């Protein structure tokens, strides 16, 4: 690291939670992710979802084909490594888990409570029916990734993460004490405290939007559809706790953008899609958040070390440099079939940018 006030060189980061979508969308999302990250854990909530290893390997090949067809550098093409996940359903078997663990391609299994977020209709309806699968995941050391919200209609949307911790996650941990679990995109102090209270097998990812914004940004002065994501932004007090734990140097928290592309007209309508698109400028966003509390020196651990350590993977050896040079976030990117893709903070200026 050089002068920490103006320039920061860190090991190349990984994104441990990203949505690339599929088919034509990959022409945009893959190069955007590959310019910043080496490994990315690709979410399986496609239509139809990625439910077994054969489907995961086929999806990975589609990603890599779009990577080769892109105009990013040969160095970035060689470094980019999409790590796959299986979509856990009520029909997933222990044999599916064994095959996935031996594949060398599937990094984890994703649990979406049915109806929790985009394309989650095939998600798990009964955690208690997953005993054999969780036992197999423990046996084969395959982590469980959780969208941590209950989905009961009567539960307030701002309370769904807390209820999940108490009613679902605590139960899973008690029954499967050695199962590696990542509580993805945590949004509350309750989740941060819960993760800190557990053993080293429990970790969490945090998105840039949950570090930088709270529900006031979403709702005051009119609803801002490009701040709408699930789990939804919470109170400022929760945002401050997330910043505290992300910048604390604790290896239990690491980078997962949850970058989720939705065409602009799908976001800006009467029933806007949930998801923030941040893959292109995620590192300047995180740098801005860390620098806002004087902890820019903690970014490398969060972005480049702790996730790899949790997953038992080697630390990247290449580096990337951020500079305190203003970056104006583009108002949009071309997307497939003539659509546009609006990024998080479109048109705004960030104090940090990537050094080319």
Tokens of 353: 């940018």
Residue 209: HSE in the Cβ half-sphere, 13 Å Cα cutoff: 30
Angle at 258 between CA 283 and CA 164, to 5 degrees: 135
Between 53-69 and 94-102, two packed helices, what is the crossing angle to 10 degrees? 40
Q: Report whether 217 belongs to an annotated binding site.
A: no
Rg of the chain over CA atoms, in angstroms?
A: 19
- Residue 119 CA to residue 121 CA, distance in Å, equals 6
- Residue 36 CA to residue 47 CA, distance in Å, equals 27
Q: Report whether 238 belongs to an annotated binding site.
A: no
DSSP helix/strand/coil, 197: helix
Q: Report whether 24 belongs to an annotated binding site.
A: no
Give the largest CA-CA distance in the chain.
54
**In a 10 Å sphere around its CB, with 0-12 CB exposed, 13-18 middle and 19+ buried, how is residue 266 labelled?**
middle
Active-site residue (options: 258, 265, 291, 297): 258
Contact present, 168 and 194 (Cβ < 8 Å): no
Contact present, 319 and 312 (Cβ < 8 Å): no
For every residue of 52-67, DSSP letters joined together read: SHHHHHHHHHHHHHHH
Q: Report whether 274 belongs to an annotated binding site.
A: yes
- Please choose, from the candidates 138, 152, 71, 60, the residue with its C-alpha nearest in 3D space to the C-alpha of residue 106: 60
- Please choose, from the candidates 208, 225, 229, 230, the residue with its C-alpha nearest in 3D space to the C-alpha of residue 264: 225
Q: Report whether 144 belongs to an annotated binding site.
A: no
Q: Report whether 19 belongs to an annotated binding site.
A: yes
141 is catalytic: no
Tokens of 20: 């690339």
For every residue of 21-45, DSSP letters joined together read: -SGGGHHHHHHHHHTT-SEEEE---
Q: Report whether 20 belongs to an annotated binding site.
A: yes
Query: Which residues are annotated binding-site positions for substrate?
Result: 19-21, 45, 147, 230, 262, 274
Per the annotation, binding residues are 17, 19-21, 45, 110, 147, 185, 230, 258, 262, 274
So which residues are the catalytic ones? 258
User: Annotated binding site for Zn(2+): which residue ranges?
Assistant: 17, 19, 110, 147, 185, 258
């Amino acid at each position: 690291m050089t002068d920490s006030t103006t320039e920061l060189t860190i090991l190349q980061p990984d994104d441990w939670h990203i949505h690339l979508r599929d088919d034509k969308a990959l022409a945009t999302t893959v190069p955007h992710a590959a310019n910043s990250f080496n490994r990315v854990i690709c979410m399986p909530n496609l239509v139809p979802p990625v439910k077994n290893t054969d489907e995961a390997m086929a999806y990975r090949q589609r990603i890599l084909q779009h990577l080769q067809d892109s105009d990013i550098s040969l160095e970035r093409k060689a470094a980019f490594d999409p790590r796959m996940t299986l979509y856990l359903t009520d029909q997933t078997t222990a044999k599916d888990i064994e095959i996935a663990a031996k594949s060398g391609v599937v990094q984890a299994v994703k649990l979406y409570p049915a109806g929790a977020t985009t394309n989650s209709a095939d998600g798990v309806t009964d955690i208690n029916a997953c005993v054999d699968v969780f036992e197999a995941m423990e046996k084969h050391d395959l982590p469980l990734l959780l969208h941590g919200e209950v989905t009961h209609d009567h539960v307030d949307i701002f309370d769904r993460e807390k209820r999940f911790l108490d009613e679902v996650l605590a139960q899973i941990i008690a029954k499967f004490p050695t199962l590696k679990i990542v509580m993805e995109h945590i949004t509350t102090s309750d989740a941060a405290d819960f993760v800190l209270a557990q053993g080293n097998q429990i970790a969490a990812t945090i998105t840039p939007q949950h570090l930088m914004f709270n529900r006031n940004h979403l709702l005051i002065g009119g609803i801002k559809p490009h701040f709408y994501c699930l789990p939804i932004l919470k109170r400022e007090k929760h945002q401050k706790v997330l910043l505290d734990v992300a910048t604390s140097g604790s290896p239990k928290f690491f980078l997962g953008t949850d970058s989720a592309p939705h065409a602009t007209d799908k976001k800006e309508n009467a029933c806007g899609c949930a998801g923030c698109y941040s893959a292109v400028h995620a590192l300047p966003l995180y740098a801005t958040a860390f620098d806002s509390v004087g902890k820019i020196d903690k970014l490398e651990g969060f972005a480049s070390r702790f996730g790899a350590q949790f997953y038992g993977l080697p630390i990247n050896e290449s580096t990337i440099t951020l500079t305190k040079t203003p970056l104006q976030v583009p108002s949009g990117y071309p997307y497939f079939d003539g659509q546009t893709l609006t990024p998080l903070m479109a048109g705004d200026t960030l104090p940090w940018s990537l050094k080319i």
